[in-house]
Amino acid sequence: MARVRAEADLPPLALDGDVAVGALLRERLGDEVVDRLVEPLLGGVYAGRADELSLAATMPALAAHLPAAGSVLAAAAASRDAGARSRGDADGPVFATVADGIGALPDALVAAAGAVVRLRTPAHGLRRTAAGFELSVGPAAAPELLTADVVLVTAPAQKAARLIGALVPDAVEPLQGIPYASMAVIAMAFPAQDVDAGSGLLVPPVAGRLVKGVTVSSAKWPHLAGGPALLVRSSVGRFRDESELQRSDEDLTAAVVADVADLLGLDRPEPLETRIVRWGGGLPQYLVGHPARVDAVRTAVSEVPGLAIAGAAFRGVGVPACIRDAQHAVDALL
């Protein structure tokens, strides 16, 4: 607390380019703030590590206010106030979703768009033609060729690099410079009971826990409230520390259930049902220098008319950020 209070009296902050969130905040606010507050937040969102993640990419509002503010706390206050003004309703909900849950969104989008969707159909070749583009899809031994006027690539960075490499060679290196973390998400239904965790909690890695955080889904989302069970979700796995993911589904699920039951202080800790979903290479890591990599990719791709790229690898991993990125890409194509 003394380190936090003293931050305003430190020499004004002057950054020379992008820096790691952890390095900056440890210097200005101390290790405890990073380990017990910042690390759980960034670990929950990115499955990454504060000492490696880019300040400009993961906390752009804070980074934008730092030059004028001169201190982290002043920049944080300015960022908070600007965000409240832009929303126009500082008392609105922190979280929001569609009425039937986010899982209903893909089906609704497909129905509204009238799009043809091909699942489990790899795309492994893309080339220019006189009329536009030709995509090679399906089994490599017997590919199908699809023609397209324009192409929007939303594959993970490494796969995108392979797909567009022949067309946009300058995008390959920056795309390959975006690594990914793997994680597992475990959903649990416990007998209905009261818990004091609100909509959930985040867990610092210093706590020696397996899980990174716990979402009390039946408290967080109205469409899941009032049912016969306490619905909980938790995640496991961090960048460069994915050894726990080598466990079997049964072993990993049992360990997470025990951790969650202890964290929430459950009176009835035996789950009624569980489900595990693994996301191998699911979360891109915004390491220091990430904005420059993104700019390099976008500049290179923009030089090929009719081609665009978007997705979680660039300007945000959350659903709203991905939607926003896709809208910008489509605007550029049109």
Give CA–CA dist 215/89, Å, rounded. Answer: 24
What pLDDT score does 102 carry? Answer: 86
Say if 219 falls within a structural domain. Answer: yes
Q: Tell whether 146 and 208 lie within a shared domain.
A: no
Q: Tell whether 193 and 275 lie within a shared domain.
A: yes
Domain count, the chain: 3
Kindly report the CATH number assigned to the domain that includes residue 273.
3.90.660.20
Say if 138 falls within a structural domain. Answer: yes
Q: Tell whether 37 and 47 lie within a shared domain.
A: yes
Q: Which residue in 118, 96, 98 sits closest to 108, CA to CA?
A: 98
Say if 96 falls within a structural domain. Answer: no
Give CA–CA dist 54/19, Å, rounded. Answer: 6
Range of the domain at 82: 2-87
Say if 106 falls within a structural domain. Answer: no
What pLDDT score does 208 carry? Answer: 78
What pLDDT score does 83 carry? Answer: 74
Say if 111 falls within a structural domain. Answer: no
Whole-prediction pTM: 0.91
End of a domain among 87, 107, 138?
Answer: 87
Task: Please list the rounded mean pLDDT of every run of 10 residues in the chain (334 residues).
Answer: 93 92 96 94 91 96 93 94 69 76 90 92 93 94 94 96 96 98 97 94 85 94 90 94 93 97 96 97 96 97 97 94 95 92
Kindly report the CATH number assigned to the domain that includes residue 172.
3.50.50.60
Q: Tell whether 127 and 272 lie within a shared domain.
A: no
Say if 123 falls within a structural domain. Answer: yes
- The answer to whether 256 and 210 have CB atoms below 8 angstroms apart is yes
Say if 18 falls within a structural domain. Answer: yes
What pLDDT score does 87 carry? Answer: 63
Give CA–CA dist 312/283, Å, rounded. Answer: 8
Q: Tell whether 187 and 250 lie within a shared domain.
A: yes
End of a domain among 70, 87, 104?
Answer: 87
Q: Tell whether 295 and 247 lie within a shared domain.
A: no
Give CA–CA dist 61/21, Å, rounded. Answer: 13
What pLDDT score does 242 carry? Answer: 85
Q: Tell whether 13 and 55 lie within a shared domain.
A: yes
Say if 315 falls within a structural domain. Answer: yes
φ, ψ of residue 126 in degrees (nearest 5): -145, 125
Q: Tell whether 160 and 290 lie within a shared domain.
A: yes
The residue ranges of DSSP E strands in the chain, in sequence order, are 123-128, 133-137, 144-148, 151-153, 180-191, 200-202, 213-216, 229-236, 273-284, 307-309
What pLDDT score does 92 carry? Answer: 64
Question: In the block, which residue shows the tokens 């000492």?
Answer: 51
Q: Which residue in 127, 135, 143, 151 sits closest to 308, CA to CA?
A: 151
User: Which residues, 6 or more positions from 143, have their beta carbon under 8 angstroms from its beta carbon?
Assistant: 124, 125, 136, 137
